[in-house]
Chain A
Amino acid sequence: MNELSPISPSVASLLVVLLPFLACVVQALLGRKSISGNISLIAIVSSALLSFFAVFLPVWGNSPMAERITWFTIGQTSFEVGLLLNNLTVLMQLIVCVVAVPVHIYSRYYMKGDSGIHRYWMYLSLFCFAMLGLSISINLLQLYVFWELVGFASYLMIGFWFTRDAAVQANKKAFLINRIGDLGFLIGIALVYSHVGTLDIVALFDQTGRFVQGLTETGGLQVVQKDNTWVTLAGLAFFLGAMAKSAQFPLHVWLPDAMEGPTSVSSLIHAATMVAAGVFLLCTVFPLFNATSLLVITAIGTITALSGAVFALAQYDIKKILAFSTISQLGFMIVGVGIGAWDTALFHLATHAFFKCLLFLAAGAVIHEMAHFKAQTNLDFDPQDIRNMGGLRRYMPKTYVCMSIAALALAGFPLTSGYLSKDSIVVSAYEWASTAGGFYFVIPVTLIIVSLLTAFYIGRLIFKTFFGSFAMQSSVTAHNRPHEAPAGMWWPMSVLSICCFFPVFGLHPLAYHQTWIIQTFHARPGFTEQETAHLIIPIVLTVGTLLALLLGWFWYVKNRYPISQQNRWIRFANRQGYLNEFNELVFIKGTVGLSRLLYAFDRHVVDGATKLFTWTTQQLARLIHWFDANIVDGIVNWIANGTYYMGHLVRQVQNGQLQNYLGFALTIVILGILYLIIK
C-alpha cells in the first residue's frame, strides 16, 4: 500500500511526532496572543491523517521498519535514537492520534474563556508529542525519556488550575508516584544494559532478539537464559514502571486525585492514552518476562481490577467513578499481559481508549452544563456529584445517548467493542487457568465478578445521572435549566461513539478472534484453546451484565435502594479502602519524619561534631594560653617581680637617717660577733 503515500513511513511517523512538538513551541512563543487552539488542532489533525495514511496503512501487517541515528557515545557503546515501526507501535500511535483529535475539538469549547487557555494548548501539544514519541521509540532509553515527559505533561495538566490547592496536591502526588515507577523502569534498563549490553528494542525483543525464546539454537547471538534471577528482577522492575503509569494497585492512588485536571485532559491522558502506556511498555518488553514475573503481573492485575471496581461502586463524584473504572479496566489489560495473551490486552487497550474517552467527554459535558446551571442559579453545589444530578436525559438527550453507548461498551454488552475485548481477556484467562489448573481459577472467576461489578457501577452512574428526577428540579425555570452541550462538544462525542461498536474492529459481532488486531498480532500464549469456554463465558457475562443492570435499575431508578449509606463496606469503598490515609501515615509522615530526624542529626551531630571540634580547639587554646600566661610567662614575671621586691625591701635601708645607718651597722657588727662566737 506504499503507493498511497508519497513519503516514506519513517519520515511520516517522524512528522507525526514532531508536528505537535512544533505546535507546542509555537504556542509557547505566542503565549497569550494565541488562544484559539488552532495551531494545536491543525498539528494533531495532520498528525492523525499522516499516522493513518502514511504510517499505519503501509506498516500494519507488513514487516517492521527501523531507523536509527547515533545519539551519543560513551566508552565503546553508542546509544541510538530512532523510529521503530511495527504493528504494535503504529497501532499505538494511531490510537493516540485518533483519540486526541476529538479531544482537541472538544477542548476548544470546553475550555473556552479560561484565563490560562494558552497554557492549555501548549501542554496538550506537549503531551501529544511525548505520547507519540513514546509509541515509536526504538531504544529503551529513548522510551524512558518520553515516558517521563508524558508524566511531566500529565503533571502540568493536573495542576492546570494551579490556584486550587487540591489540584497542586494531586499533581505532586501523581508525579511522585510516577517517579517510583520511573525508578523501576530505570533499574530495569540498567539491569538489561549491564547484562546484555544494548538497549535497542529490536536487538532485544524482536523476532530475532536476544530475549525471544525458541531461537536459542539459531543465530549467532547468545540468547539470555530466562530463569536467571536478574531477568525476574528486571521484569519486575519494568512492571513497577508500568504499575505506576497504568495505575496498578497499590500505586493507583494518584489517578483518582488526578481528576482535578480539566475533564478533557482526563479523557485523553488519564483514560485513553497515558495510562495505557504501561500496558504498551509491558507488550514491548514482553519477551523479557519469565513465569515468575508473569504470575506477579497477573496477580497484581487481578487485584487492581477487583479493587478498582469495588471502589468505583461507592464514589459520588462522576469523574472518580470513571477514574476507578479506568483503573479496573487497566487491571484487565495487565491480566491479559500476565497470562501471556498480550494481544488481547492491546485489543482491550484500543477499545477501552475509545469508550473511556467518550465516557469522560460525556461526563465533561454533564459537568460543564451543571457548572453552567450552577452559575446561572447562584446555587452552591458540587457540579460533579451524581447525587445532585438525575433526570438529565430530558435536558441533554444527545449526551445521554453517547454516554449510554459508551457505558454499554464498558459493561461488555454484545455488539459493542467492549464485548469483544473483554471477552477476549476473560476467555483467555479461563483457558490459561485450565491449563495451569487448580488455584489459578481464582483469576478468571474474579474477572467475571469484576465484569458484573463493572456493569453495576456504570449502570449506577447512568441511572443516577440521566434517569429519575433532577435533584435541582426546584430551581429549574423556563430560562434557567440545563442545556444540551454545544455542537462542538457533542460532535466529537458522536464520532467516538461510533468507534464503540464492533465493526470498527472486526466484522463478526461476537468472535474476538476475527478482529483485525488479534489476527495481526497473534500472540502465541502457552495454553490451549477451549471451545466450551468461548461459548459459555460470553453467555455468563452477558446474562450477568443484564442482571446487574437490572438490579441497578431497580435500586437507583425505582428508588428501592436497600443499603444504608453509612454501611461500613460502602464507607470503606468510598474512602478507597483507606489507602490514601495509610500512605499519608506511613510513607509521607515517615519520609518527612525521617528527613526531620536526619536534619536534626545533621545540625546537632554532624555540625555538632564540627562545633565540638571547634569548641575543643578553643578550650585547648584557652588552656595553653593559661599555661603560657601563668607558667611560662609566669616564671619570667616572678623573677622580675622578686628582684623588684627585694630591691624595694633593701631600699628601705638607704633612708638618709644617720641613726638608722648606725643601727644597721651595729646590727651587722653584733651579728658578726655572734657569728664569731657561735662558730
Chain B
Amino acid sequence: MGLLTILIFLPLLATLLILALPISVRNSYKYIALAFTLLQFALSAYMYSNFDDSLGGIHNYEGYQYVEQLPWIRLDLGTIGILEIDYFVGIDGVSLPLLVLSTLVMLMGIGASWNIQKSTKGYYALLMLLNMAVMGIFAALDFFLFYVFYEVMLLPLYFLIGIWGGDRREYAAIKFFIYTLLGSVLMLLVIVGLYFSVINPTTGAHSFNMLLMMDPANYIDGSFFGFISNYHELFGVPSRWIGFAVLFFAFAIKVPIVPLHTWLPDAHVEAPTPVSIILAGILLKIGGYGIIRVCYGIFPDIAANSNYWLALIGVISILYGAFNALAQKDLKRMIAYSSVSHMGFVLLGIASLTAEGLSGAMFQMISHGFLSAALFFLVGVLYDRVHDRYIYHFRGLASIMPKYTAYVALAFFASLGLPGFSAFIGEAFVIIGAFNAESMATGVPRWMAIGGSIGILLSAAYFLWTLQRMFFGKIRVKGGQAWQEALTDLSRREQLILFPALALALILGIMPSLVFSKINASVLQLIDLIQPYL
C-alpha cells in the first residue's frame, strides 16, 4: 500500500473510528479528527519534499509519482468486451500543491470546528468522509474512480450545510447539491462516451484510464470522441466540442463561473464557518483542477480553439464578481463574491495557454485556497461573538479588537494583491500571461488582460471600503455596550489557526518558487500537449 493510498484513506479510518466510539466520549472526536488530519498533513509535506521537480506528468505515465495501479473491477460483458476499471492514483505537479493545500485547509477547518456542539459524532464523521473524497479527487487518474470520489464528496457537504448551517440552510444545501449534481450527471455521459471511444492498447479492452484518454492513438477510428476521421455531430456541433463543453460545464459550476455561480453566495452564507472554509479553500479548486486535468488533458484540440471564450468567461467573472462584492452589505456574502472574482483569474490564466498564465492560475488557486479560508475564518470570528456580520452594524472595530483588525487588514491586503503576499504573484502572472497570449498567438486578446487588471483595482476598492467602514473611525456598533463587551479580541486558538495561513501567504509571496518549481515541469508538459493544436 503506497503513501498516496494511505493519504486518501486515512480519513476514512477516522470516520469509522468516530462512528465506532460511543457517544459518551464525544469530546474525543475532535481530537481524533485533528490527529488524523495532522498525520495527513505530515504525509503530504513528506510527499512534497520528496517530489521530483523534473517530472512533468499530465499525459505521461512515467511523469507521475507515487503511482499505484491495481485492477479494481473486471467484468466480462460478452460482446462488448471486458469492463476494465482500475484503482489508479498518482500525482504530478498539478495535483501535488493542491493536495498539500487541501490537508492544510482541512486542518484549518478542524480548528474552526472546535466549538461545534451540535451532534459532533455525525459532524466529524462527515467531515472526514469529505476529506477522503477530496484527496481522492486530486489523486485519481482513472476517470471512473475520479467520478466516484466526485460524487462521494457531495454527500457529506449536503449534510454539513443542511444540518449545521444557518437559517436558510436547507435551501442553500439543496441548491448547492442540485447545481453540482447537474454538472456531474452530464459528466457521466461524457465519461461513458469516452470509455467506448478508447481502447487500452495492452489489453485491447475499453478503458476508463485518463492517461489513455489523453493519447490520440488510443482512440478507435470513427468512434464518438475519436480524434481522427470523426464526423459525429450532435445538433450540428462536433462531438468532441460537446464532450469538452459538457465537462467544462461540470467543472465550471464548481469554479464557479458567471452565470453558474449563484449557489456559491447562498452556500457560503448559510454554511457553518468550517464548511465555508473548506468550500472556498478546497472545493472551488476542484473546478480549476478538473479543467486543467480533464478538459485540457483529454480535449487539448478543443482547448486550443475554445480558449477565447473561456478567457472571456474568466474576465466577465472577474469584473462581475468584483462589482457584486462592492454592492454587498453582508461581510460573508462580500467575501463569497470576491471568491467568484478571484477564481475568474484562474480561468483567465488557464485560458491564456501560456506558461506564465497557467502557472499564475495554479498559484492563484493555491493562494486563494488559504487566503479565502482565512477570510471566512475571520468572518466566523465576528459572527461567533455577536451573531451579526452586517457591514453597516460595525464601526471602529480597530479600537475594540486591535489584533483582529491587524489580521483582517493583513488578510484583506493579501487578498487584494499586495506584493509580498501570494495573491499578487498569482494575479500578476495571470495578467502577464494573458498579455503574452497575443504574442504566443493563443487567441486571447489583450483587452481581456486589461479587463482582468481592472478587477484588481475593484478588489482594492471593496476591501478597502470594508476596512474603512467596519474597522476605522469612532466606535459605533449596533448592539451598543453589550456588543462591545462581547467583541473580545482573538483567542490563542484563533490566532494559531490564522497565523499559519497568513504566514504561508507571505512566504509564498516572497518565495513563489516553492510552488512554481513543483508545477513548472507539468505546466510545460501541458503546453506541449496543447501546442500542436494551436
> A residues engaging B (CB < 8 A)?
70-77, 141, 144-149, 152, 159, 162-165, 167-169, 171-172, 175-176, 179-180, 182-183, 186-187, 189-191, 193-195, 591-592, 594-596, 598-599, 602, 606-607, 609-610
Surface stretch bound by A, among B56-64, B191-199, B516-524:
B516-524
Total B residues in contact with A, Cβ cutoff 8 Å: 61
Give A75 Cβ to nearest chain B Cβ, in Å.
Answer: 3
Q: Given A141-B428, A168-B468, 14 other A-B contacts at CB below 8 A?
A: A72-B516, A73-B513, A73-B516, A73-B520, A75-B354, A144-B428, A162-B473, A179-B457, A183-B456, A190-B431, A191-B435, A194-B435, A594-B323, A598-B323
Q: List 20 A-B contacts (CB under 8 A).
A: A71-B513, A72-B512, A73-B516, A74-B516, A75-B355, A76-B355, A77-B356, A149-B420, A152-B413, A162-B473, A168-B472, A172-B467, A183-B456, A186-B456, A187-B450, A190-B434, A193-B432, A194-B438, A195-B439, A595-B323
- Tell me whether B327 and A599 are in contact (CB under 8 A): yes
Chain B, range 402-431, C-beta contacts under 8 Å to A: 413, 418-420, 424, 428-429, 431
Asked whether any CB of chain A lies closer than 8 Å to the CB of B168, the reply is: no
In the complex the two chains form, what is the Cα distance from A180 to B517 in whole Å? 32
Closest to B409 in A: A156
- Tell me whether B474 and A163 are in contact (CB under 8 A): yes
In the complex the two chains form, what is the Cα distance from A594 to B461 in whole Å? 13
Chain B residues with CB under 8 Å of A77's CB are 355-356
Chain B residues with CB under 8 Å of A180's CB are 457
Asked whether any CB of chain A lies closer than 8 Å to the CB of B398, the reply is: yes
In the complex the two chains form, what is the Cα distance from A162 to B323 in whole Å? 26
- Tell me whether B464 and A599 are in contact (CB under 8 A): no
Chain A residues with CB under 8 Å of B200's CB are none
- Tell me whether A591 and B516 are in contact (CB under 8 A): no
- Tell me whether B420 and A145 are in contact (CB under 8 A): yes
In the complex the two chains form, what is the Cα distance from A164 to B468 in whole Å? 10
Asked whether any CB of chain A lies closer than 8 Å to the CB of B166, the reply is: no
Asked whether any CB of chain A lies closer than 8 Å to the CB of B223, the reply is: no
Closest 4 CB pairs of A and B: A75-B355, A190-B435, A599-B327, A145-B419
- Tell me whether B436 and A190 are in contact (CB under 8 A): yes
- Tell me whether A606 and B356 are in contact (CB under 8 A): no
**Of the residues B261, B323, B432, contact of A194 by C-beta under 8 Å:** B432
Asked, given contacts A76-B355, A591-B326, A592-B326, whether A179 binds B456 with beta carbons under 8 Å apart, the answer is yes
In the complex the two chains form, what is the Cα distance from A588 to B472 in whole Å? 20
Closest to B524 in A: A75
Asked, given contacts A159-B472, A599-B327, A602-B262, whether A75 binds B461 with beta carbons under 8 Å apart, the answer is no
Asked, given contacts A194-B438, A610-B262, whether A168 binds B473 with beta carbons under 8 Å apart, the answer is yes
Asked whether any CB of chain A lies closer than 8 Å to the CB of B396, the reply is: yes
In the complex the two chains form, what is the Cα distance from A162 to B401 in whole Å? 13
**Of the residues B355, B432, B461, B511, contact of A176 by C-beta under 8 Å:** B461
In the complex the two chains form, what is the Cα distance from A162 to B405 in whole Å? 12
Asked whether any CB of chain A lies closer than 8 Å to the CB of B320, the reply is: yes
Chain B, range 64-108, C-beta contacts under 8 Å to A: none
- Tell me whether A149 and B520 are in contact (CB under 8 A): no
Give A68 Cβ to nearest chain B Cβ, in Å.
Answer: 15
- Tell me whether B327 and A190 are in contact (CB under 8 A): no
In the complex the two chains form, what is the Cα distance from A76 to B464 in whole Å? 37
Asked whether any CB of chain A lies closer than 8 Å to the CB of B359, the reply is: yes
Give B1 Cβ to nearest chain A Cβ, in Å.
Answer: 35
Closest to A75 in B: B355
Asked, given contacts A165-B473, A175-B460, A610-B262, whether A183 binds B439 with beta carbons under 8 Å apart, the answer is no
- Tell me whether A595 and B420 are in contact (CB under 8 A): no
**Of the residues A176, A179, A595, contact of B324 by C-beta under 8 Å:** A595
Asked, given contacts A75-B355, A75-B359, A610-B262, whether A163 binds B323 with beta carbons under 8 Å apart, the answer is no
Chain B residues with CB under 8 Å of A179's CB are 456-457, 460
**Of the residues B258, B418, B449, B473, contact of A149 by C-beta under 8 Å:** B418
Give B303 Cβ to nearest chain A Cβ, in Å.
Answer: 17
Give A262 Cβ to nearest chain B Cβ, in Å.
Answer: 16
Chain B residues with CB under 8 Å of A172's CB are 464-465, 467-468
Chain A residues with CB under 8 Å of B418's CB are 148-149, 152
In the complex the two chains form, what is the Cα distance from A74 to B522 in whole Å? 11
In the complex the two chains form, what is the Cα distance from A171 to B460 in whole Å? 12
In the complex the two chains form, what is the Cα distance from A213 to B255 in whole Å? 48
